[in-house]
Amino acid sequence: MEAAEGLSLHRRLFSQGPAGKGIPCLYKDASRGANWISKPMSQSQAISSELFRLTQDLVNIPSITGEEEACSQFLANYLADRQWKVEAIPVSQGRFNVFATHGHPEIVLSTHLDTVPPFIPAREDAEFIYGRGSCDAKGIAAAEVMAAQSLLDEGVSDLGLLFLVGEETLSDGARAANETPRGSKYIINGEPTCNKLALGTKGVLRVDLRVRGKMAHSAYPQLGESAVEKLLDILADVRKLPLPGDEILGPCTLNIGVISGGCAANVIPGEAQAQLLFRTVPRQSGAPDLKSQVEELLRGRCEFEFIRDTPALRLEKLDGFETDVVAYSTDLPSLTNWGQPFLLGPGSIHVAHTDGERVRKWDLQQAVALYGCLVRLLKTRN
C-alpha cells in the first residue's frame, strides 16, 4: 500500500455513510490497497455478525472495576480458541490483564475491560448495541479482535492484543503491564473518539480532602467548629486558582465531584470531605506547577491526599485520518514501555457512563477497517 493511499483510505471506504447505504464500500477498492477488507459479501457479513455478537457477549458479563475476572477469562478463552497465544498478566487477587500474540508483537491493539457501575445488560436494535461498556470499551475490544483476526487472515503477522483491567479508577492494570513490556514498537489504544485519531489527551490530578471540626449543639455554635464551613472556605479558594491552558488541549478544568459532611441539621459538623479532580494540560515553560499550587493552598488547613496524577499526552498526527482532541485521560500514560502511542476508537464519550450507553453498529464496522488501516500503515515504518 502506498502510504498516502493508506492514510486516506478510510475516507473512501466510508464515503456513503451508515444505515446500509455505504456498507458495500467496505469491500471494494482492493486494487488500491484495501484487499484486507475486500472479502465476499457473505464473509464480510459473517465478520459483522461475529463483531456484534462478541460485543454483546462482553457487555453481558459484569466487569465493574475490581470485578473483571469473569470477563477477562471469557476473552482469554475466546482468543485461545482462535489460536492466539494467550497470557494472563496478574494485577491483584483474582484480577488479570489478557495479553494475546501472534508472532513477535511489533504492534499491539489495546483497551480496557472494566466498566463503571451499574451493570446494564446488552440489548440491540437495527442501529445500536446498548448496555454498560458497549461504548466504553467492550465494543472497542470486539472491534480490535475482529481487526486483528482479519489482518492475520490476510497474512499480516507479529500482532498483539492487550486487554486491561482497572482503567476506570487508577489504571492499575496498565501499570502492571508496564512492568513487563514485550518489545512492541507501537500501541494503539482504544477509547471512544468517534473513530477519529486523537491528537492528545488531558491528564488527571485527583486530590481528596478531609476537614476536622468540633461537634456541638447547633443552638450553641460558639461551642463548636464547623468542618463544613471550613471545607467551603477551602473549596472557594481552590476555585480561585488560575488554571493553565494549552493551544491544542484547551483549558485545564476542575470538578468538585464529591462533598460530604455532618450528621444532622441540628449538629455542628465535626468532619467533612471532598474529592476534587483536575483535567490537566501540559505545563508551559516557566509556569507554576499546579500540584504544588494545590498543595500549598491546602497545607495546614486540612488533611489531603493526591490519589492520582496522570500526565497529559500529545500524540502524533497522521495525514488522512480525521483527528480530534479528547478531554479525558486513558491508560496510555501508564503504558510508556509499550511503544509509541496512538488513540482511536468507535463511539462517543458523551454517552459513555450514562444509563443510555450505546455504540452504533456502523461505527464498530468502521473501527475494524480503521484499525486495519492504521496497523498496515505502521507496518510500513518497520
The domain limits of the chain are 3-201+314-379, 206-310
pLDDT reported for residue 320: 86
The answer to whether 167 is a known catalytic residue is yes
CA 98 from chain center: how many Å? 16
Render pLDDT for 253-310 as a digit per residue (tens, 0 to 9): 999 999 999 999 999 999 999 999 999 999 988 889 999 999 999 999 999 999 999 9
The 3-state DSSP class for residue 65 equals coil
Residue with cell 485521560: 329
Contact 103, 158 (CB under 8 A): yes
Phi, psi of 23 (to 5 degrees): -60, -40
Residues 204-240 pLDDT 10s: 999 999 999 999 999 999 999 999 999 999 999 999 9
**Is the CATH number of domain 206-310 3.30.450.30?**
no
Whole-model pTM over 0.75:
yes
Q: Beta strands 123-124 and 128-130: pairing type?
A: antiparallel
Give the whole-angstrom CA distance, residue 139 versus residue 154. 23
For residue 188, give the nearest of 301, 315, 294 by alpha carbon.
Answer: 315
Question: Cα separation of 117 and 94, whole Å?
Answer: 19
Instruction: Tell me which residue of 339, 381, 333 sits closest to 185, measured CA to CA.
Output: 339
- Rounded CA-CA distance 226/293 in Å is 25
Q: What is the pLDDT of residue 39?
A: 57
Of 343, 342, 375, 382, the closest CA to residue 9 belongs to: 375
Please say whether the beta carbons of 322 and 374 come within 8 A. no
**What fold is seen in the domain 3-201+314-379?**
Aminopeptidase (3.40.630)
- Measured in degrees and rounded to the nearest 5, phi and psi for residue 195 equal 60, 30
Kindly give the confidence (pLDDT) of every residue in the chain, 382 residues in length, as a single tens digit, with 9 standing for 90 and above. 444 444 444 444 444 444 433 332 232 232 233 343 445 556 678 889 999 999 999 999 999 999 999 999 999 999 999 999 999 999 999 999 999 999 999 999 999 999 999 999 999 999 999 999 999 999 999 999 999 999 999 999 999 999 999 999 999 999 999 999 999 999 999 999 999 999 999 999 999 999 999 999 999 999 999 999 999 999 999 999 999 999 999 999 999 999 999 999 999 999 999 999 999 999 988 889 999 999 999 999 999 999 999 999 999 999 889 999 999 999 999 999 999 999 999 999 999 999 999 999 999 999 999 999 999 999 999 6
Distance CA 137, CA 141 (A): 6
Tell how strand 159-164 and strand 95-102 pair up.
antiparallel
CA-angle at 209, arms to 245 and 66, nearest 5°: 90
Set 167, 168, 191, 357: catalytic member? 167
- According to the model, what pLDDT value does residue 24 have? 29
Q: Are 198 and 344 in contact (CB under 8 A)?
A: yes
Q: What is the pLDDT of residue 308?
A: 93
Residue 137: asked if its preceding bond is cis (omega within 30°), the reply is: yes
Report pLDDT for 44.
75
CA proximity to 181, closest of 87, 260, 271:
87
